[in-house]
Amino acid sequence: MDIDVKELQQRLANNDEIVLIDVREPHEHQEFNIGGQLIPLGNIPSVVEDLEEHMEDEIVLYCRSGNRSGMAQHFLQQLGFTKVRNLEGGVLAWIDAFGT
């Protein structure tokens, strides 16, 4: 189940309970981010234990375009995370909709 930028922006504005994770690389995160915790895609397997406390929580993953976060979404779903969402279009869609 994916989420679009407008829904995510509204959910963040409402302070909804969301675990927001940026799966891009550190230099991408420094250039622009929407407030997510940085966990690069390659590091996801090594931090699964830390994420297990959010097994039933809504997790929104994002990257530049939605590809890497889609891979992370699939990985976490395979491990039993039930509410993992991918930001459609990633940061590029966010910038298109809201600017930087």
In whole angstroms, give the CA distance from residue 4 to residue 26: 23
pTM metric for this prediction: 0.97
19 catalytic per annotation: no
**Choice among 8, 34, 39, 63 that is catalytic:** 63
Domains, the chain, ordered by start: 2-98 (3.40.250.10)
Question: What pLDDT score was predicted for residue 1?
Answer: 84
In whole angstroms, give the CA distance from residue 40 to residue 100: 21
Ordered per-residue pLDDT tens for the chain, 100 residues: 899 999 999 999 999 999 999 999 999 999 999 999 999 999 999 999 999 999 999 999 999 999 999 999 999 999 999 999 999 999 999 999 999 8
Question: What pLDDT score was predicted for residue 36?
Answer: 97
CB atoms within 10 A of CB 80: 9
Question: What pLDDT score was predicted for residue 68?
Answer: 98
